[in-house]
Amino acid sequence: MNQRSFRLAAATGCALLVATLAPAYAGSANASSSAAGRVTAPLVGVMDIPWLNGPVVVAHRGASQVAPENTLAAVDAADRQGFKWVENDVQQTRDGKLVVMHDPTLTRTTNARRVFPQRAPWRVQDFTAAEIARLDAGSWFGKRFARERVPTLAEFLRRMEDHDLRLLLEIKNPQLYPGIEARIVKELSGAGWLDRGHVRRRLVVQSFSASSVRTVHRLVPGVRTGFLGNPPLNALASYTRYVDQINPQLSKVDAQYVSAVHRLRGVHGRRMEVFAWDVPLRNYARIASAYGFDGVIV
């Protein structure tokens, strides 16, 4: 999608992803850690949050239609195509490093079978970061991407910063990696992504695990968070204690469900939002309008 396409979509007035970041309540100019291990991001008053102008969409795993998913090339492509938000997936290596990878195994998007033929089933958690760095993460998509590697979270954050992009970060399979939330928070803080500007407008953390999202909110209460899934209507209110968004698969919800979410206020006092995923790029504006979505991940 190019810039002209975005301008045309904006003219429709459809409600798409308007991902301003969480309000906060008090804090210093820089993120800091308390004795309890809680990272306190710089927080501002609820009414200080400036809503972004115009609708945008989120590039799922980067511009993954034109570059290998979750790579730096996909970030570059998202920027060239005019996206302002990029979604990625974070997992942990055997030696406790954070890498950007969607699947629990390395086989679909790398040459792990060839490089490490005796290491079946080639799970991310069974390899060190140095071993994963040896893999080709681009050839499966096209020969011109043969030099692409699996990026670390730190590398990914730097490339996002280079392009001034905003990040929808998914904690993938957190049950496999006890303590991964604290490691992610530490990485974000060290990269400058928990300062005032990032926390206000450039970062959302989500997961399919409610426990993982609760942990992130406890560690960094100012950061916007989302739960991936579609909780039953009678359970929605319980999520307002630690999330700002309910982010379901398109096929699992209808307009009535979205309205029910919108009637609630999230953990930071604003109307709960709904960012749908698996939304086809060619129909995203019409779908967002029909369902009332606040955001779409295409």
Using the predicted structure, report yes or no on whether residue 265 has a pLDDT greater than 50.
yes
- β-sheet bridge partners, residue 87: 60, 168
What pLDDT score was predicted for residue 10? 38
- Is 268 among the catalytic positions? no
* Pairing of β 98-100 and β 85-92: antiparallel
What pLDDT score was predicted for residue 140? 97
Tokens of 255: 């307009």
In which band, very low, low, confident or very high, does the pLDDT at 284 lie, cut at 50, 70 and 90? confident
What pLDDT score was predicted for residue 56? 56
Write out the H or E segment, with its range, that includes residue 85.
Answer: strand 85-92
Q: What is the pLDDT of residues 38-76, one digit of tens each?
A: 443 333 222 232 323 334 589 999 999 999 999 999 999
**pTM value > 0.85:** no
Q: Encode burial over 128-159: b for 16+ CB neighbours within 10 A, e otherwise.
A: ebebbbebbbbbbbeeebeebbbbbbbbbbeb
Contacts of residue 4, Cβ cutoff 8 Å, sequence gap at least 6:
none
- Is 102 among the catalytic positions? yes
Say what percent of the chain tops pLDDT 70.
81
What pLDDT score was predicted for residue 200? 83
Say what percent of the chain tops pLDDT 90.
74
What pLDDT score was predicted for residue 107? 98
User: Which of 6-10, 46-50, 219-223 is predicted least confidently?
Assistant: 46-50
Q: Which of 102, 198, 217, 268 is catalytic?
A: 102
Using the predicted structure, report yes or no on whether residue 35 has a pLDDT greater than 90.
no
Q: Which of 60, 198, 217, 268 is catalytic?
A: 60
Using the predicted structure, report yes or no on whether residue 155 has a pLDDT greater than 70.
yes
Instruction: Look up tokens 């496999």; give the residue.
Output: 176
Dihedral of the CA atoms 84, 87, 93, 97 (nearest 10)?
30
Residue 121, preceding bond cis, omega within 30 degrees? Answer: yes
Alpha-carbon separation of residue 128 from 99, 111, 112 (angstroms): 10, 15, 13
Using the predicted structure, report yes or no on whether residue 180 has a pLDDT greater than 90.
yes
User: How many whole angstroms separate alpha carbon 129 and alpha carbon 190?
Assistant: 19
Q: Give helix 153-162 / helix 180-190 axis angle, nearest 10°.
A: 40
Q: Average pLDDT for residues 180-203, to the nearest whole number? A: 94
